[in-house]
Amino acid sequence: MKTCLVTGCAGFIGSHLVDRLLAEGFEVTGVDNFNDYYDPKIKEGNLKNALKSKAFELYKIDILDFGKLHEIFSKVKPQKVVHLAARAGVRPSIANPKLYAQVNVLGTVNMLKLAVDYNIEQFIFGSSSSVYGQSPRLPFTEDDPCDAIISPYGSSKRSAEFFVETFYRNFKLKTVILRLFTVYGPRGRPDMAPALFTKAILESKSINQFGDGSSSRDYTYVDDIVDGIVRAIDKNFDFEIINLGNNHPVRLTEFISTLEKVIGKKAKVNKLPIQQGDVEKTWAGIQKARNLLEWEPKTDILTGIKKYIRWLKTL
Ligand SMILES: NC(=O)c1ccc[n+]([C@@H]2O[C@H](COP(=O)([O-])OP(=O)(O)OC[C@H]3O[C@@H](n4cnc5c(N)ncnc54)[C@H](O)[C@@H]3O)[C@@H](O)[C@H]2O)c1
């Protein structure tokens, strides 16, 4: 039996990963503190299917609680760890940088320490395109110096990456850092643009467009992301940093018009100045993912948005 511990298991990406691992025959241990960054009931709903499986065990604990984490590791002794629990979101990190440093950095160090103590076979860390910040080198590739970070969230993820790499160097912990690019799809985080914009259009309310609409994001469909994570789990790299992104940046105006097309309704756009911490463009260079994981994103933005809206209508 293959065993995997997933932190952030009740969140958007984590819950999809849990479902996929269970389908692949893994025994999965989930860790999540169900915090109220967004409605915890949504997180409970995300795990509805997983909780029906005997191969899934859920622990409602905080990754900052080293003692409780330790108990779980000593009981479960998982082969693989996928660490996705984090304070996500760029804008709130500007208001509360300390919380981001605590959860995203210290929480990751707790996980790494236990991964070493319990001889975990492989540690996979969910990092972010935010570590590239305003880097002028496009598309973003893994050898970028990452010296243009503009949000505390990006800094917290980069700091955690340094610890991951250090644990590989010191303790030979096999690690993969996956830098994820703007993930969207069913169960999408309610604080992110796809969910906010869709809700506003459906309810005939205005959407807040920050900047002139020329900014762009490399929106990546959640199933493609999960596929990349599972491929990384199947490999046994010593240490790698790998981008997972769609390799096809979409301008904000194009994103809004795609939503309008799929929903069949015009958006009311409220233009506002660009927000502090927001980068101008994200664009994933994915040659490394192609070479090392034989991974290719399969979902274009129109198909992905259609799937997302279809899911919303089932709620
Ligand atoms: N969604 C994206 O576009 C995106 C892009 C890049 C990177 N990421 C990263 O992927 C991971 C998952 O993101 P998501 O979009 O699914 O976010 P999410 O907020 O839906 O999921 C994160 C989960 O972690 C849990 N969590 C947070 N702090 C915790 C703590 N102290 N202890 C235990 N659990 C805790 C939350 O309750 C939540 O269920 C995060 O690390 C995020 O930084 C996401």
Measured in angstroms, how far is the CA atom of residue 103 from the centroid of ligand 1? Answer: 10
Any ligand 1 atom below 6 A from CB of 84: yes
Average pLDDT value over all residues in the chain = 97
Domain containing 159 — which CATH number?
3.40.50.720
- What's the CA gap between 51 and 154, in Å, rounded? 32
Does position 115 have pLDDT exceeding 90, yes or no? yes
End-to-end, the C-alpha distance of the chain in Å comes to: 34
Identify the band that residue 1 occupies on the pLDDT scale cut at 50, 70 and 90.
Answer: confident
11-36 average pLDDT score: 98
Q: What is the pLDDT of residue 276?
A: 87
Shortest-distance atom of ligand 1 to CA 38: 19
Residue 314 lies in a domain: no
Identify the band that residue 277 occupies on the pLDDT scale cut at 50, 70 and 90.
Answer: confident
Question: What percent of the chain has pLDDT above 70?
Answer: 100
- Which domain, by its residues, includes 120? 2-187+222-247+284-298
Q: Which helix (H) or strand (E) holds 129?
A: none
Does position 205 have pLDDT exceeding 90, yes or no? yes
Residue 151 lies in a domain: yes
Any ligand 1 atom below 6 A from CB of 88: yes
Q: What global pTM score does this model have?
A: 0.98
Identify the band that residue 80 occupies on the pLDDT scale cut at 50, 70 and 90.
Answer: very high
* DSSP annotation string for 32-90: E---TTS-HHHHHHHTTTGGG-TTEEEEE--TT-HHHHHHHHHHH--SEEEE--S---S
Q: Which of 59, 100, 153, 184 is catalytic?
A: 153
Residues in Cβ contact with 171 at an 8 Å cutoff, skipping those fewer than 6 apart: 116
- What's the CA gap between 86 and 13, in Å, rounded? 11
Residue 203 lies in a domain: no
Does position 193 have pLDDT exceeding 90, yes or no? yes
Shortest-distance atom of ligand 1 to CA 157: 43
User: Crossing angle, helix 301-313 and helix 193-202, to 10 degrees?
Assistant: 60
Residue 292 lies in a domain: yes
Residues 149-190 have pLDDT tens digits of 999 999 999 999 999 999 999 999 999 999 999 999 999 999
Q: What is the pLDDT of residue 88?
A: 96
Does position 240 have pLDDT exceeding 90, yes or no? yes
Q: At residue 181, what are phi and psi to the nearest 5 degrees?
A: -110, 130
100 is catalytic: no
Measured in angstroms, how far is the CA atom of residue 87 from the centroid of ligand 1? Answer: 6
Residues 285-314 have pLDDT tens digits of 999 999 999 999 999 999 999 999 999 989
Shortest-distance atom of ligand 1 to CA 189: 20
The number of folded domains in the chain is 1
Does position 315 have pLDDT exceeding 90, yes or no? no
Q: Which helix (H) or strand (E) holds 207?
A: strand 206-210
Contact by Cβ (8 Å): 121, 79:
yes
Q: State both tokens at 4.
A: 């995997």
Residue from 59, 180, 196, 223 whose mutation best tests the ligand 1 pocket (most atoms within 8 A of CB): 180
DSSP code for 103 = I
Measured in angstroms, how far is the CA atom of residue 9 from the centroid of ligand 1? Answer: 8
Measured in angstroms, how far is the CA atom of residue 164 from the centroid of ligand 1? Answer: 17
- What's the CA gap between 119 and 96, in Å, rounded? 34
Residue 267 lies in a domain: no
- What's the CA gap between 103 and 98, in Å, rounded? 9
Any ligand 1 atom below 6 A from CB of 64: yes
Compute the radius of gyration of the chain from its Cα atoms.
Answer: 19
Does position 230 have pLDDT exceeding 90, yes or no? yes
Any ligand 1 atom below 6 A from CB of 183: yes
Does position 9 have pLDDT exceeding 90, yes or no? yes
Residue 60 lies in a domain: yes
Q: What is the pLDDT of residue 158?
A: 98
- What's the CA gap between 167 and 120, in Å, rounded? 12
Residue 253 lies in a domain: no
